[in-house]
Structure 1
Amino acid sequence: MDLSQTRQAPVEYQYVHRRAGHVMVAYQKRLYVWGGYMELPHSQAYTFMTSSKSSYHSAIDVWVFDPLLNMWTRKMSRGDIPQQLSGSCAAVHDDHMYMFGGWANIASDNMENNLNFLWRLQLPTLTWTLLAPNGTPPFPCDKAACWVHNNRFFVFGGFGPARSSSQMEDVGVNFVRDDVYYSGWIDQLVYYDIENNEWVWPRTKGVKPSPRAAHAADVCGDKVYIFGGRFKNARMNELHCLNLRNWTWSGNLMDDTLQDIPVGRSWHTFKFVSENKAVLYGGFNSTEQVLNDIWVLDVRSKKWCKTLNCRASSRLWHTAAVAHPGEITFYGGIQNNLLDNTRPKDHAEEMLVLRFSPPCLKRLTIEAICEAGEMLRSQWKVLPQILQHILAVRLSPDNFS
């Protein structure tokens, strides 16, 4: 394994990397980032009309990272552009990103901060569509987990406003209200049938996970694995699996008798990097510590392995995606206690790349030439034009990734 990180951006571009609560997906070997918010420097925290210490990112902007060029590009989206949001969840199906829910920066008279809208972003044209599916929609929430399987976009869990017990019973959902706030945790499992444009609430068997939020989930074959999340005052280290063919829950797969397992957490990432291996990184534990540990789960043996040779920064509420086989990228997040309102928050501004297998020869060659810098520029003329262009972009001072 090899853990690398991009160089830090010049000051004028650093706001791009000050981002948490955003979404990031991989599409055609590029990474697409949208939304989220930015914690303001302490000196700027009270310079606006309100006493807010954060600023939401533009809803029009979609930032695209090309690993081959090692460059970010800001693009303008169009169509039914969503509100400024944090805590939404998103996944890719064919040429579209589907995005659900989130916390709206500004609530209106007839709309709460938590949303249950479903948007579709056509990635080639960056055109948004606000969908209006048939059926009973999910309950409004943020910090849910989502995934795509068999032409279906799934949503599980989340944190949102209370609803009547009759509404919950109709779709077989449990809701546990927070002791302080009107909102609470939910265990909703619902999918959007992409072909038939409708919400469906499947009936499942087995031991369903408890309500939770700020958990993470990813698909491996016909199964989805869900790790961690917060429920009441606990940040859990439970690992659950749902068979998406027979709708059977596994129950908690974690063996508490083993000492070498991840601690409970929320606001982490959990992503498959190969057919059988998932990577867990970072998050926020029950003692309000920001974590920097990296674990690899082999789903065949259900065994965890902590990576000891990778030095990663502490971060929470970041994102992870796999744009190239055997390579997982982590982006954004906060480096210190998000719940401590007495101290300014530090963003994790460097992108981390964890490689489990060597990249292709083309990428290795490009990276080797870039390390040599200007020493080999006189010899570029023997290379194909496309490679000359890639090298010129990579070594340009305007490349701020």
Structure 2
Amino acid sequence: MDISKWPSDLAYEQWVALPVSGARPSARYKHAAAVVGENLYIHGGSRNGRYLSDIQVFDLRSLTWSSLKLKIESDADKSEDNGLQEVLPGTSDHSMIKWENKLLLLGGHSKKSSDAMIVHVLNLETHVCGVVETSGKVPVARGGYSVTLVGSKLIVFGGEDRSRKLLNDVHVLDLETMTWSLVESTQTPPAPRFDHTAAVHAERYLLIFGGCSHSIFFNDLHVLDLQTMEWSQPQVQGDLVSPRAGHAGISIDEIWYIVGGGDNSNGCLETLALNMSKLVWSTLTTLKERHPLSSEGLSVCSAIIDGEKHLIAFGGYNGKYSNEVFVMKLKPRDSSHPKIFQSPAAAAAAASVTAAYALAKSEKLDFPQIIDLNFNGVENNVLKKDINIEIDAIKEEKKVLELSIEEVTAENSRFREKIDELNSNHTELSKELQSVQGQLISERSRCFKLEAQIAELQKMLESSQSIENEVQILRRQKSALEQEMELSAAQRQGSGGVWRWIAGST
């Protein structure tokens, strides 16, 4: 690969490892990364249980790495020798966000203990770094969370705190005032999790995908409406997506790209793309077994090089730590927003909730484009008529969808009534079961008593049988004794008669 012309040599939607000139940074995972211009910045991460604290910069033109030398804020009461260790400690499971001419580093796990989430800032022009003072309801310190930039606000969701408690709360950091606030949401939120990904669509919808608890890996998709602060779990279509955690994600226009991840046993080989307007999953490419990108704890960013969009991936762990840089050139896509009646989700009656979600996005995204159109004369009038017809058609479809939602709501109510009835029957049956179990216990007790009595009677019977045998023996002995006495008496009588006969004859 010709380094000076490497972007033009790439095929579309294929991962390619970039040749690196010179030294590379340490292999790692669970680091933080961001692209600024044509430079990839990475900070920290973990390797063999050790937290890393360096900031490395990869030049996407020269394909060379360099270490960023930081300067400490002048008012920081620290020596130059230990200042870096104090301001940017070794950290993993954290996030890096570009804001104006700065990089913000949020949270994560490190040896430096803190009860609340800390925000570090690095000025990209002066390379001065320090800690940002924040106020409000500061979230508890955590790692493995997601953070998303929406306008001038950061949306933080979930993660795992220092005591390994899983979280599913939502916090907002206003970057203008550096004030934290806790979001009070409605409906059912995602299960507590960490190592998931998040993206924002149309500046209104926060999407949460995947992640894991301490025993379960998820492949679900949840949506938080940032205007109503209401959670939903819309129906998705397209390719089947396997559960994963530790993956990386980046959204570009309508598409949310997902790379890597795994379930502690197997790494995910496919690179996924979610069309956030249509809520349809597709697979861009599938890697070979044990590929460095089929890893957990990798990072993925986007960069524009020679006018074309690229994905930039770094690091990760799949049994082996990686420090390679991979790039994928993306195919140019039609930037026009799909209309709701073109959406597969809208065409399916079973996906009415999803279609309503997509409709709201279509109204938000398409109508401003219509307003910005500026033609004159007859062409403008004709265009307005066409637009009005299209608007009327969309409104009619919206009515149909609303009716479908009402039907689904009514059916849900019927299901709830049936469930309540089943629960009531279950409660009654449980009571009857408990009663029968009580009766069985009492009957068993009676059986035990009867068996004990039977055993005693058997012993008595055995004892009476032996007594009867002894009586029979005694009777036989008595009979024999009586016979002997009779015989002896007879003998005495015979002897006396003889003597009387002798005496008479004399």
Alignment TM-score > 0.5, same fold: yes
Assess, with a 3 A threshold, how the Cα gap between structure 1 residues 65 and 284 changes in structure 2: closer, same or farther: same
Cα distance, 1:97 vs structure 2: 1.9
The corresponding residue for 1:125 is 126
Please point out which of 100, 109, 114 is paired with 1:103.
109
The corresponding residue for 2:43 is 34
* 2:346 is the alignment partner of 1:351: no
Alignment RMSD (CA, Å): 2.2
Greater C-alpha radius of gyration: 2
Counterpart Cα distance in 2 of 1:218 and 1:66: 26
The corresponding residue for 1:66 is 59
* 2:301 is the alignment partner of 1:321: yes
Cα distance, 1:135 vs structure 2: 0.9
Assess, with a 3 A threshold, how the Cα gap between structure 1 residues 73 and 221 changes in structure 2: closer, same or farther: farther
Counterpart Cα distance in 1 of 2:167 and 2:234: 18
For 1:353, the aligned partner's letter is V
TM-score between both structures, scaled by the size of structure 1: 0.69
Partner secondary structure for residue 218 of structure 1: strand
Counterpart Cα distance in 2 of 1:318 and 1:187: 22
For 1:78, the aligned partner's letter is K
Please point out which of 200, 206, 210 is paired with 1:224.
206
Cα distance, 1:28 vs structure 2: 2.2
Assess, with a 3 A threshold, how the Cα gap between structure 1 residues 127 and 153 changes in structure 2: closer, same or farther: farther
The corresponding residue for 1:186 is 167
Cα distance, 1:17 vs structure 2: 4.4
The corresponding residue for 1:270 is 249
Cα distance, 1:246 vs structure 2: 3.3
Cα distance, 1:185 vs structure 2: 0.4
Cα distance, 1:208 vs structure 2: 1.7
Cα distance, 1:329 vs structure 2: 0.7
TM-score between both structures, scaled by the size of structure 2: 0.56
The corresponding residue for 1:155 is 156
For 2:269, the aligned partner's letter is N
Cα distance, 1:334 vs structure 2: 0.6
Q: Which has the higher strand share?
A: 1
Which deviates more from structure 2 when the two are superposed, residues 315-324 or residues 64-73?
64-73
Deviations 1:106-142 (A, max 9, x none): 24xxx36x76211122222222221221111111111
Listed as ranges, the matches of 1:173-322 within 5 Å are 182-222=163-203, 223-254=205-236, 260-272=239-251, 274-285=252-263, 288-308=265-285, 313=292, 314-322=294-302
Percent identity, please.
Answer: 19
Assess, with a 3 A threshold, how the Cα gap between structure 1 residues 154 and 7 changes in structure 2: closer, same or farther: same
Deviations 1:265-308 (A, max 9, x none): 11001211x311111111122x6212222111111221111134
Contact 1:21 1:86 in 2 (8 A): yes
Contact 1:92 1:148 in 2 (8 A): no
For 2:296, the aligned partner's letter is L
* 2:27 is the alignment partner of 1:18: yes
Counterpart Cα distance in 2 of 1:237 and 1:254: 11
The corresponding residue for 1:372 is none
Partner secondary structure for residue 142 of structure 2: coil
Counterpart Cα distance in 1 of 2:124 and 2:230: 33
Cα distance, 1:96 vs structure 2: 1.9
Counterpart Cα distance in 1 of 2:276 and 2:47: 35
Structure 1 segments unaligned to the other structure (5+ residues): 40-53, 162-181, 337-345, 359-401
Counterpart Cα distance in 2 of 1:102 and 1:261: 31
Counterpart Cα distance in 2 of 1:159 and 1:309: 30
Structure 2 segments unaligned to the other structure (5+ residues): 1-12, 74-86, 333-506
The corresponding residue for 2:50 is 55
Counterpart Cα distance in 2 of 1:316 and 1:209: 21
